Structure 1
């Protein structure tokens, strides 16, 4: 994979991010390190982690073993739900850095808003401070609804650079993505292939894949890219890692995009994790 073929997206804070990243959920220990090293050597330059994944140490180790300069790799972690109070959120950033053995994170996000606690603005203020201190380069959200982000903006004047949301062909989040676009916020897609792989069985997508000589996963990831979203798929095998990264040499037609969008379902969310009431601890 020629990494120069991977486009970068400009963010509202002036920084840039690759148009496709690598998810590290459940990549732990030595096996996780190996998978991440392979991904980096295949050409991925964005690693997505979280305090709660308990693999920040593995992420740091993979970066060191990869032989790729730290400044060429973008790394994400996230504040867990139990640490939204200002001081605890700041400590979370510091602890994440200690765990990974890094001097800074490129992205630090609030993992979930946990609205019943009502503390996510405190966590946001802590991330603003962490950015001022040079601990993080860009700050953002994960699983935030527009009303949650609007409150952050209203109370701090700082717009998130990214918001990471569940996004796949059964749950296309059109209104949420439009709100992001209107505020210059990059949409990152977690579970971009649906995780349970049911979307991967859709005959419609199989037909489109056949027409392009591509895999089903490549078609779905290309769909994300053309939506303007940034998918972060996870794969452990080197072959699948390279396959998922190779989506910038073809284009879906407007009709194909509309057809995949038509798979959207009112109940498309994979689990009952609606950010309006879901609590992450």
Structure 2
């Protein structure tokens, strides 16, 4: 799995095919998607065009997708994975993740796709599908060759340890929100001990959540004095500093940008090193601030409570 990938969250459908094509042309080889993002068909079109134009071969691109909450039942998970592969126009995912450790009542693909957090009545409907059933479904997806690797997203330590007690195929990757405001040092240490790779999302912190109103009105990391002073000292952009902070810990990152220059600069975060003092200064910004919290949607979804 490449260290720096391109995230597809919030990439608008009308621009998605071109955005993916340009990202691959710029050198990205990891595309991080999900059924819930609603743009997998367009992302697949961008990938197909890049393959047709000789920019990449399929086996050179690491494609990640995720199983949504309404398809946690064993018989539904494989159905969804096949549907997502059809949307992408590919035969396998390189990585397939459980998007959240949350099961919601089933919503048929024909009725609404993606269903987001709500049933057809506009309400949230938690249901009793255990993670073990869903994980066994992902193992079957891997057995069938629909995914080369399987993993989880938005899991905390206790749930991850429990999963390993029964997993026949152990998770390859844990994807979580991680940035200097939410450093998750103990979780990082645990995954390293367990041999599970981490992909950090929302590496730029509140920037990703401004339009959603979920940024908690804290100062943006891109304009934070600590970040900007390190950027000035290293001759890099604030975004590069934040991405490098994660990469230097051995984590993968999946930033997105519709700006070509930023596309290129985000790829360059493997080309410099932060000093121990700079890393310590960024670590000190940790205030355990989580912005992607499903409990903000419904009290019963408190997976981080």
Q: State TM-score, norm by structure 1.
A: 0.89
2:139, 2:168 within 8 Å by CA — same for their partners in 1? no
Question: Residue 241 of structure 1 corresponds to which residue in structure 2?
Answer: 263
Q: For 1:91-121, what per-residue CA distance to the aligned partner results, in whole angstroms no more than 9, with x for missing partners?
A: 1111111111111110100000017734222
2:66 is the alignment partner of 1:78: yes
Q: Which has the higher strand share?
A: 1
Runs of 4+ displaced beyond 3 Å? 115-118, 271-279
**Please, which of 243, 267, 272 is the counterpart of residue 221 of structure 1?**
243
Distance in structure 2 (CA, Å) of the matches to 1:149 and 1:274 = 20
**Distance in 2 (alpha carbons) for counterparts of 1:72 and 1:272:** 34
1:17-32 equivalent positions in 2, closer than 5 A: 17-32=1-16
Q: Does 1:65 align with 2:49?
A: yes
| Separation (CA, whole Å) in 2 of partners of 1:270 and 1:136 | 29
Please give the root-mean-square deviation of Cα atoms over the aligned residues, in Å.
1.8
**Separation of aligned partners in 2, 1:235 and 1:155:** 39
Summarize the Cα distance change of 1:178–1:52 in structure 2 as closer, same or farther, 3 Å threshold: same
2:175 aligns with 164
Q: Once the 2 structures are TM-superposed, how far is the Cα of residue 277 of structure 1 from its aligned partner? A: 3.8
TM-score normalized by structure 2?
Answer: 0.82
Structure 1 stretch 85-94 or stretch 62-71: which is displaced more? Answer: 62-71
Q: What's the counterpart of residue 228 of structure 2?
A: 206
> Mind listing any 5+ residue stretches in structure 2 that lack a counterpart?
104-125, 209-219
1:44 and 2:28 are equivalent in the alignment: yes
Partner of 1:114: 102
- Tell me the CA shift for residue 149 of structure 1: 1.8
The whole-number CA distance in structure 2 between the counterparts of 1:58 and 1:35 is 9
Query: Contact 1:52/1:80 (CA < 8 Å) preserved in 2?
Result: yes
Please state if 1:272 is matched with 2:293: yes
Q: Work out the CA distance in 1 between the residues paired with 2:132 and 2:37.
A: 23
2:191 aligns with one of 180, 205, 211: 180
User: How far apart in 2 are the matches of 1:155 and 1:29?
Assistant: 39
Whole-Å Cα distance in 2 between the matches of residues 274 and 189 of structure 1? 20
Q: Is the 8 A contact 1:46 1:73 kept in 2?
A: yes
Counting matched residue pairs gives 262
Higher relative contact order (CA closer than 8 Å, sequence separation 6+): 1
- Hey, what does 1:98 align to over in structure 2? 86
* 1:153 to partner: Cα distance: 1.5
Name the residue aligned to 1:14. Answer: none
The Cα of 1:57 is off from its aligned counterpart by: 0.7
Per-residue CA deviations over 1:49-72 (Å, capped at 9, x if unaligned) read 001111111121111111311111
What does residue 18 of structure 2 align with?
34
Give the CA deviation at 1:151: 2.2
Q: Distance in 2 between matches of 1:22 and 1:272?
A: 22
1:146 CA displacement: 1.6
